[in-house]
Structure 1
């Protein structure tokens, strides 16, 4: 019996050692390139032109970030990105919550048909050209609402919220109805506060998609005042390819490089998500388990 227990302890230690080693390896694989990107973005063009891995900037410089912010319209693009992310997340979560609340009720007429139609949208879409024609017919081309209205609905998010609403005790809804509350009041006062973990999870996913969205602008927007940050930074990178070096008196002086500007843009676009994620992490962990366990 004692020998068996010793063997189990040894196996447990070996298992823990292997797990810790693998996790440390994966952590280094993630952290080292990320650190290299951040440090390289603060390096001068001359040091970046020499190549190699940069663990610490040999020539500290803010020229890469100055090249990004040299465009005066960059702040307008930043405001557009913030507005479309905030408004898009709020409207998307609320719209999906309304649909999920309705479909969570088994007595809704046509519920099976609506569920079937929703499942179909998870696997099939109209395609790029039909979607463009639809956006054009709705008059959404070159408007801010092209970022908001087409992104209102996602049946995947509806399923998450629908499963969460089903786990809310019926006694809460029945008590509210006895007190004279209607469907809207029950939805806003009971189901919305109780569904914060699920809604925070959906908000995090949708917020990342909205912030990083590039193709919507590429396909439907030509007005530069409606360009989000990602599209504006894309233009800056393209322009920097021809302005990376200046020839002064026959000698080449490297101020910025395309690589340096690209690294600076990566840091700028990633920073807001890195700041927001820890705030929503506790909701994210619990929200990912919604619907996974059935009692």
Structure 2
């Protein structure tokens, strides 16, 4: 018995050591390239022209960021990105929560049909051309609402919220009904406050998608006043590459300035998400565990 305990203790130590080594390697794989991108974005064109891995900038410079912010319309694009992300996340989460709340009730007529229809949408879609024709027929082309209305529904998020709502004790729902509360009052006053971890998880996922999305702009927007930050930075990168290609007998400094602009755009677009994630991390963990699919 004693030998068995010693063996289990040794196996546990080996397992923990292997896990520690793997986690350290995984962390290094993530952190080192990220550090290289950040430091390189603050390096001058001359430093980037030398090539190789940059652990610390030999020649600090803000020229890459000046090149990005030189266009005054960048702030209009930043406002569009922030607005569509905040409004898109709020409407998406609330709409999915309403659908999830309804489908969590087994007495709803046609519930199985609605669930089956939702599952189909997870695997099949109409395709790009039918979707474009639908957006056009709805009058959403070149409007701000093309960022919001098509992104209202995601059945995957509905499933997470639906299973989360099922974990709410029936006694709370019944006591609210006894006190005279209707479905709307019960949903807003009881279920939404209790489902904040799951809703914060969905908000994080949807917020990242909204912030990084520029394909919607490529497909449905031609008015530059409605360009989000990602689309504007994409144009800046393309313009800087074009200028480098048109440079007759171009130098390495110009080429690496283009690279610096690209690195600066990566930092600018990633920074808001990196700042927001720690604030939502505790909701993210509890939401993923409590709202997980169990059936």
TM-score of Structure 1 vs Structure 2, range by shorter chain: over 0.9
Q: Greater CA deviation, 58-67 or 15-24?
A: 15-24
Deviation at 1:6, TM superposition (A): 2.3
Distance 2:245 2:113 in 1: 62
1:268 aligned partner: 268
Give CA-to-partner distance per residue, 1:137-189, whole Å, 9 cap, x none. 00000000000000000011011111111111111111111111111110000
Deviation at 1:253, TM superposition (A): 8.9
Distance 2:267 2:131 in 1: 32
Tell whether the 8 Å contact from 1:104 to 1:162 is kept in structure 2 after alignment.
Answer: yes
- Pick closer, same or farther for the CA change 1:283–1:94 going to 2, 3 Å: same
Tell whether the 8 Å contact from 1:81 to 1:229 is kept in structure 2 after alignment.
Answer: yes
Structure 1 residue 88 corresponds to structure 2 residue 93: no
Tell whether the 8 Å contact from 2:49 to 2:252 is kept in structure 1 after alignment.
Answer: no
1:120 aligned partner: 120
2:4 aligned partner: 4
DSSP 3-state at the match of 1:168: coil
DSSP 3-state at the match of 2:242: coil
1:254 aligned partner: 253
2:190 aligned partner: 190
Length-normalised TM-score, structure 1: 0.95
Q: Greater CA deviation, 111-120 or 198-207?
A: 111-120
- Pick closer, same or farther for the CA change 1:251–1:269 going to 2, 3 Å: closer
DSSP 3-state at the match of 1:288: helix
Structure-to-structure mapping, 1:197-236, within 5 angstroms = 197-236=197-236
Give CA-to-partner distance per residue, 1:87-112, whole Å, 9 cap, x none. 00000000000111111111111111
Tell whether the 8 Å contact from 2:221 to 2:227 is kept in structure 1 after alignment.
Answer: yes
Tell whether the 8 Å contact from 2:119 to 2:155 is kept in structure 1 after alignment.
Answer: yes
Distance 1:46 1:290 in 2: 52
Structure 1 residue 108 corresponds to structure 2 residue 108: yes
Distance 1:251 1:53 in 2: 23
Give CA-to-partner distance per residue, 1:22-59, whole Å, 9 cap, x none. 11011000000000000000000111111100000001
Deviation at 1:287, TM superposition (A): 1.1
Distance 1:294 1:153 in 2: 22
DSSP 3-state at the match of 1:254: helix
Where structure 2 has 5 or more consecutive residues not aligned to the other structure, the ranges are: none
1:99 aligned partner: 99
Distance 2:165 2:115 in 1: 15
1:154 aligned partner: 154
Give CA-to-partner distance per residue, 1:251-291, whole Å, 9 cap, x none. 96936611100000000000000000001100111111235
Deviation at 1:293, TM superposition (A): 7.3
More helix per residue: 1 or 2? Answer: 2
Deviation at 1:3, TM superposition (A): 2.7
1:22 aligned partner: 22
Give CA-to-partner distance per residue, 1:218-252, whole Å, 9 cap, x none. 000000000000000000001111345998xx996
Length-normalised TM-score, structure 2: 0.95
Tell whether the 8 Å contact from 1:35 to 1:55 is kept in structure 2 after alignment.
Answer: yes
Distance 1:8 1:253 in 2: 60
Deviation at 1:8, TM superposition (A): 2.1
1:130 aligned partner: 130
